[in-house]
Amino acid sequence: MALKLEFHIVGGDFNLAGKASSKIKKKLVQLNIEPKLIKRIVVATYEAELNVVAHAYSGILTACFEPLFFTVTVADKGPGIEDIEQAMQPGFSTASKQVREMGFGAGMGLSNIKKNTDELKIESKVGEATTLFFKIYY
């Protein structure tokens, strides 16, 4: 039976960033998933979580543990992405100085999510919201 976990993510709060990914990691370890796969899943999830913290006002991250695959949907309320293709380019970033000082915002997040996942979909409405979905097969 599929297991679903939902997390609320607060934009701008770097102290809480990673909490959802951490809980998901612990669940995957508990489920005895192979460590290399766990790393791919949690790195992609953490990048997606960080994107909400760095760019949006708030978001809901939903993780689904299906029998054959794992999915994450992150739906945020925020500024949206004007040009998704451009945002996917390694090195392109609109991150603030504060985000960069934390060691992020190098424009590597979305391409890293793509690298670690089997399926990636991003939909965005400028000025309103962005939804990111990815799938990784076990």
Partner 1 sequence: MKIAEIIKLTEARVIAGDPDKPINIERAFSSDLMSDVLTLDDHQIVLITGLANVQLIRTVEMADVPVVLLARNKKADEEMIQLAEENGIVLLGTPYSIFRASGVLYENGLKPLY
Positions in the binding site for partner 1 (CB under 8 A): 14-15, 17-18, 21-22, 25, 35, 39, 42-43, 45-47, 102-109, 112, 115
Q: Calculate the alpha carbon distances from 94 to 36, 59, 102 in Å.
A: 30, 18, 15
Q: How far is the CB of 115 from partner 1 (least distance, A)?
A: 7
* Measured distance CA(18)–CA(33) in Å, rounded: 20
Q: Residue 45 or residue 117: which is nearer to partner 1 going by CB?
A: 45
- Stated length of the chain: 138
Q: Residue 94 or residue 129: which is nearer to partner 1 going by CB?
A: 94
Q: How far is the CB of 28 from partner 1 (least distance, A)?
A: 11
Q: How far is the CB of 42 from partner 1 (least distance, A)?
A: 5
Spatial CB neighbours of 9, under 8 Å, sequence gap ≥ 6: 16, 17, 20, 49, 52, 53, 56, 58, 59, 60, 61, 74, 76
Q: Residue 48 or residue 81: which is nearer to partner 1 going by CB?
A: 48
Q: Residue 23 or residue 129: which is nearer to partner 1 going by CB?
A: 23
Kind and range of the H or E run holding 37: helix 35-55
Q: Residue 80 or residue 107: which is nearer to partner 1 going by CB?
A: 107
Q: How far is the CB of 70 from partner 1 (least distance, A)?
A: 15
Q: How far is the CB of 121 from partner 1 (least distance, A)?
A: 21
* Measured distance CA(49)–CA(20) in Å, rounded: 8
